[in-house]
Structure 1
Amino acid sequence: MVKETAQFRSYDSYQDSFHDLVTLLQSNDRYKEVVKSADNPEQFVRELQKAGYATDPAYASKISQIAKTMDSYQNYAAAGATTHL
């Protein structure tokens, strides 16, 4: 394990955080491929990782797994709603 010290920003709201991320991605050439893949979530996180956005080498796979889990949960909840469970 490699320990890394870094500075992180804090925000007053999720909206402020999201706006800052979008601004960063659109204004920095380092993230050009990330922006191009905005319509493909799995490719998007892989490109973020390739561009050096995250220090965790498993960043893309972890985010993709979270997204898949959320999709599964939403599908399960939707099925329950349609069967009146």
Structure 2
Amino acid sequence: MQKLTPKEFIKAYLPYAKDSELKTGVDAIFTLAQAALESGWGERAVGNMFFGVKAKKDTPENKRQLLTTREVLDRPDIQFPEIISVTKRADGKYEYRIKDWFRKYNSPEQSFTDHGLFFHENKRYAKALEVRYNPYLFAEAITKAGYATDPNYATILKGVITTIYNNM
């Protein structure tokens, strides 16, 4: 896949984000920004996986894929399907380069809708859903609820939200 400019990404994927908002209530701009961040503006959307949602052990084989990713965790002894490297950071946490199982989709539409439903299906996001119509507050709330391991995730995601708004 190729990396798109923000304007190209918005043109290609905003319709899916709006459709997902109608189905799930999660703000389309938030969804689009998270898709841009997680997929590197479309460059890493292998298998239409725009959001970095991990597959579960019982996910059918044709709906999952083993991909390289980065995790920031508190311990150096966490198990993954494949560990490429573990590096201690200045803040005492450990940065992992790993391969892990992620969801795979037949279309962007499936990915975007599944993303919105993901927040409704996981109880830890109940408080976040109270602010789902404000992309900036929702970014903070899902991060606080544990969406990503990067401690700067909300700040980075809010920057992408601003980039989306500036390119519409």
The alignment's TM-score, normalised by the length of structure 1, stands at 0.73
1:27 aligns with 2:121: yes
Map of 2:165 onto structure 1? 71
1:50 aligns with 2:144: yes
Can you give the 5+ residue segments of structure 1 that lack an aligned partner in the other structure?
A: 75-85
Structure 2 SS opposite 1:3: strand
User: Identity percentage over the alignment?
Assistant: 32
Give the helix-richer structure, 1 or 2: 1
Larger Rg: 1
Can you give the 5+ residue segments of structure 2 that lack an aligned partner in the other structure?
A: 1-88, 90-94
Matches of 2:118 and 2:167, distance apart in 1: 31
Matches of 2:157 and 2:112, distance apart in 1: 16
Cα drift, residue 26 of structure 1 = 0.8
RCO comparison, higher one (Cα < 8 Å, 6+): 2
CA-based RMSD: 1.6
The alignment's TM-score, normalised by the length of structure 2, stands at 0.40
In the comparison of the two structures, how many residue pairs are matched? 74
Q: Deviation per CA, 1:4-25, whole angstroms, max 9, x where unpaired?
A: 6443212222211122122221
Cα drift, residue 57 of structure 1 = 1.2
